[in-house]
Amino acid sequence: MIKNTQFAADFYEKLPKKPYCSWGKGERTLIRSKSHAIRFPLIQINTPHLINYLIFDIDAPDAYLHFLDANLPTPSWIAKNPKNGHCHICYALKTPVCKTENARMKPLRYLASIEYSYAKKLGADLRYTGVLTKNPLDADWQTTFLSPLEYELAELADFIDLETKPKAANEVSGLGRNCMMFDTVRYWAYKAIRAHLNGGYDIWYAEVLKVAINANEVFLDPLGYSEVKATAKSVARWVWRNHNSAEFQQGFSEKQAKRGKKGALVANAKGANQKGGKARSKQYYDMRQEALKMNITGKSIKEISTLLNVHRNTVSNWLKDYQKSN
């Protein structure tokens, strides 16, 4: 365990300026200055636009041990309810992840996949929104400060095989909601911007906000209005500013071309498998050999699939086929 004096100072520094807070489940959720909110047993520790912590809610008497049973890294802290053993476990991120910026959606998608995969392995509540967390400094909880380490996303991902999240909007939870809402709004905005140019930016933003609100209402546990508004503002500004750029104009055709090329490669690979005795294409054979080399040098299936741009199940099958033949 670690001393919590420095932790308390760092924790307080990273809190939102006016966090949500509450006296407990079923009680009113309030907004207070952080000097006041820090006195509450439940508190908001991530800002509406920035993720500093991954938090998991485990409602089980032995929740404290779940990270060990799942072979996951040591959490930064665990706050346990002494009455029933239920816990919030937290991983502090070394590099915060933005929720709304267009340029940083890739790390958010990565983090959302990590969050979902960890929640599944931990047996955590997939519908936990993460807005209110057991305050690790409050006397109501038995808090154990386990590690001073802050984790990079890749370090967290090393402990798991990232799982695919549910694709139905009413099944998506956690940070996956931010990703899905962002995609829904931006794809609409890319097409709709031409029809709204004459109305001015304020009218455009109002229309984008309407779409964001409608997209958010599909989720079983909708995001807070501040997050919806931030996403709408980010999309509205980016599309308004870039709609005449070469990047924006060429973006769709380039993406379609890449998708078509990838689809052709997959089709060729499948066709080669189905031809039985016929020789596989040289490109397909080379990819299998390259996968084998990477595996021998210690790269994981996940890393190989990313580098070769093929599904990890395909890589796994390639390696199994080689093992069977030797």
pLDDT value for 281: 47
Q: Is residue 79 very low, low, confident or very high in pLDDT (cuts 50, 70, 90)? A: very high
User: Among residues 195, 227, 242, which one ends one of the domains?
Assistant: 242
Tell me: do 151 and 187 sit in the same domain.
no
**Residues 30 and 24: beta-carbon distance below 8 Å:** no
> Span 296-303, mean pLDDT?
74
Task: State how far Cα 185 lies from the chain centre.
Answer: 18
User: Among residues 188, 222, 242, which one ends one of the domains?
Assistant: 242
pLDDT value for 279: 45
Tell me: do 139 and 206 sit in the same domain.
no
For residue 87, being part of any structural domain is answered with yes
- Spatial distance between the Cα atoms of 303 and 240, rounded to a whole number of angstroms: 37
The two most distant CA atoms of the chain are separated, in Å, by 73
Look up residue 137 and give its two tokens.
Answer: 């400094």
Predicted confidence (pLDDT) per residue in 217-276, tens digit: 878 788 888 888 988 998 999 888 887 765 565 554 445 445 455 555 555 555 545 544
Burial (CB < 10 A; 0-12, 13-18, 19+), residue 273, is exposed
Tell me: do 84 and 9 sit in the same domain.
yes
Tell me: do 271 and 226 sit in the same domain.
no
pLDDT value for 26: 85
For residue 274, being part of any structural domain is answered with yes
pLDDT tops 60 at residue 54: yes
For residue 210, being part of any structural domain is answered with yes
- Spatial distance between the Cα atoms of 113 and 194, rounded to a whole number of angstroms: 34
Q: Return the axis-axis angle of helices 312-324 and 301-308, rounded to nearest 10°.
A: 120
Most confident of 72-81, 126-135, 189-198, 219-228: 72-81
pLDDT value for 244: 73
Which of 207, 111, 209, 200 lies closest to 151, judged by CA? 111
Tell me: do 237 and 252 sit in the same domain.
no
pLDDT tops 60 at residue 180: yes
Tell me: do 152 and 234 sit in the same domain.
no
Tell me: do 30 and 86 sit in the same domain.
yes
Within the chain, strands assigned E span 20-22, 30-31, 42-43, 50-58, 77-80, 87-98, 133-134, 142-145
For residue 227, being part of any structural domain is answered with yes
- Give the CATH number of the domain where residue 252 resides: 1.10.10.60
Tell me: do 261 and 226 sit in the same domain.
no
For residue 312, being part of any structural domain is answered with yes
Q: Is residue 104 very low, low, confident or very high in pLDDT (cuts 50, 70, 90)? A: low
Q: Computed over its alpha carbons, how large is the radius of gyration of the chain?
A: 23
Tell me: do 47 and 153 sit in the same domain.
yes
Number of domains in the chain: 3
Tell me: do 49 and 148 sit in the same domain.
yes
Tell me: do 182 and 114 sit in the same domain.
no
For residue 291, being part of any structural domain is answered with yes
What does pTM read for this prediction? Answer: 0.64
Could you tell me which residue, 85 or 180, shows the higher pLDDT?
Answer: 85
Residue with tokens 């993460």: 130
- Spatial distance between the Cα atoms of 104 and 49, rounded to a whole number of angstroms: 12
Counts of helices then strands in the chain (DSSP H, E): 12, 8
Which residue range(s) make up the domain with 283?
246-324
